[in-house]
């Protein structure tokens, strides 16, 4: 009799535990969610994150709170999420740096392809090659000539090895076959402050951080890295027009969760992301900043997983060819 009762109790407990796990996911989210942005506030990743988080919060009925964790080109913030509880209440919004860091850092605190669950792609942002407003060059060729002539003193800002600004700077230096002095920041928000003040000379940064400054004439734009000119920056030639053959790079962004986050949670988050990206205000704001929302089919776990895997493969030989590593 006692054994039967014990088995009945154990079965009831197991059922309750299972149903409470399912009901947690079914009622998910029941409290606010933290979204880690692996760069400083005020930069392009932060801008994209706050826009999307606000729109997702409306659909989820719970606040998504942004926490900026900058440093080491985005890998500190990514590492924070990799080691977080997979309960659906911690997210990471990161970009192409997730893929490039897998090669750049030979001692990462996490295994890029096994430490995360996937929510979906958010947007792909073009970059701009910009300089302090008093830069003495009238076009991209002039900027390249100036950089070569002053290679020991010209400074190029970036957000650390693994950042999109680092990748673009690395491609630029490879294309002109001239190493330049690089100045790392915890994000291109603070880097922009120094560019505006003339404390640093050149930066390759995303249109989500540079468009308004270019339009306002507070920095000089020499090229965009998109295949064709941007509606919001019609007078800025593409890097290919400026003579850098094949110089095209788009900074794709995705939302991740720690490994073990329930599928019900990542699917619910992907739905909220798709709703957010269809929000006319989000699309309008992205357009003002030179970018556009990812499609509903790209705002899915399977699409982000495929993108990350293919981009790691794509950038590995490029990074190895440049011989730049973080350690
Ligand atoms: C980068 O990778 O350069 C980041 O976008 C910088 C930032 O968001 O602050």
Report if residue 37 sits inside a domain. yes
Q: pTM value?
A: 0.92
Cα 70 versus chain centre, distance:
12
Report if residue 20 sits inside a domain. no
Report if residue 95 sits inside a domain. yes
Same domain, residue pair 161 and 114: no
280: Cβ–Cβ under 8 A, 6 or more apart, which residues? Answer: none
Same domain, residue pair 118 and 130: no
Consecutive H or E run containing 20 = helix 2-26
Report if residue 62 sits inside a domain. yes
Q: How many domains does the chain have?
A: 2
User: Which pLDDT tens digit goes with each residue over 66-87?
Assistant: 999 999 999 999 999 999 999 9
How high is the pLDDT of residue 325?
A: 84
Cα 226 versus chain centre, distance:
17
Checking if the pLDDT of 8 tops 90, the result is no
Same domain, residue pair 131 and 105: no
User: Which pLDDT tens digit goes with each residue over 259-297?
Assistant: 999 999 999 999 999 999 999 999 999 999 999 999 999
Residue 322 confidence class, pLDDT cut points 50, 70, 90? confident
Checking if the pLDDT of 120 tops 80, the result is yes
Same domain, residue pair 143 and 219: yes
Same domain, residue pair 79 and 38: yes
Assign residue 195 the CATH number of its domain: 3.40.190.10
C-alpha 129 to ligand 1 mean position (Å): 14
Q: Which atom of ligand 1 is nearest to the CA of 44?
A: 8
Report if residue 48 sits inside a domain. yes
Report the residue among 74, 98, 210 best suited for mutation to probe ligand 1: largest number of ligand atoms under 8 A from its CB: 74
Where in the sequence is the domain holding 160, given as residue range(s)?
A: 126-224
Evaluate: CB of 45 within 6 angstroms of ligand 1.
yes
Evaluate: CB of 93 within 6 angstroms of ligand 1.
no
Same domain, residue pair 151 and 115: no
Same domain, residue pair 133 and 204: yes
Phi-psi region of 149 (alpha: psi -120 to 50; beta: other; left: phi over 0): alpha
Consecutive H or E run containing 284 = helix 280-288
């Amino acid at each position: 009799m006692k054994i039967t009762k014990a088995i009945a109790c154990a079965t009831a407990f197991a059922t309750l535990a299972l149903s409470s796990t399912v009901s947690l996911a079914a009622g998910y989210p029941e409290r606010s969610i933290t979204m880690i942005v692996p760069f400083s506030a005020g930069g392009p990743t932060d801008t994209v994150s706050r826009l999307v988080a606000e729109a997702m919060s409306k659909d989820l009925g719970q606040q998504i709170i942004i926490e900026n964790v900058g440093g080491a080109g985005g890998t500190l913030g990514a590492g924070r999420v990799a080691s977080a509880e997979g309960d659906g209440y911690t997210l990471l919004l990161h970009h192409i740096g997730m893929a490039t860091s897998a090669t750049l850092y030979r001692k990462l605190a996490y295994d890029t392809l096994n430490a995360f669950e996937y929510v979906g792609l958010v947007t792909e942002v073009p970059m701009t090659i910009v300089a302090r407003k008093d830069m003495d060059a009238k076009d991209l060729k002039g900027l390249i000539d100036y950089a070569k002539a002053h290679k020991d003193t010209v400074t190029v800002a970036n957000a650390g090895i693994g950042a999109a600004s680092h990748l673009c700077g690395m491609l630029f230096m490879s294309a002109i076959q001239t190493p330049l002095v690089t100045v790392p920041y915890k994000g291109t928000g603070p880097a922009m402050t120094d560019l505006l003040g003339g404390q640093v000379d050149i930066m390759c940064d995303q249109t989500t951080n540079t468009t308004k400054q270019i339009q306002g004439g507070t920095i000089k734009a020499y090229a965009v890295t998109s295949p064709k000119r941007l509606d919001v920056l019609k007078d800025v030639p593409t890097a290919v027009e400026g003579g850098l053959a094949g110089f095209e790079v788009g900074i794709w962004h995705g939302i991740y969760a720690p490994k073990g986050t329930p599928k019900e949670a990542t699917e619910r988050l992907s739905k909220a992301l798709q709703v957010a990206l269809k929000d006319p205000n989000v699309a309008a704001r992205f357009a003002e900043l030179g970018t556009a929302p990812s499609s509903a089919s790209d705002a899915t776990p399977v699409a982000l997983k495929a993108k990350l895997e293919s981009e790691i493969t794509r950038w590995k030989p490029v990074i190895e060819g440049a011989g730049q590593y973080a350690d």
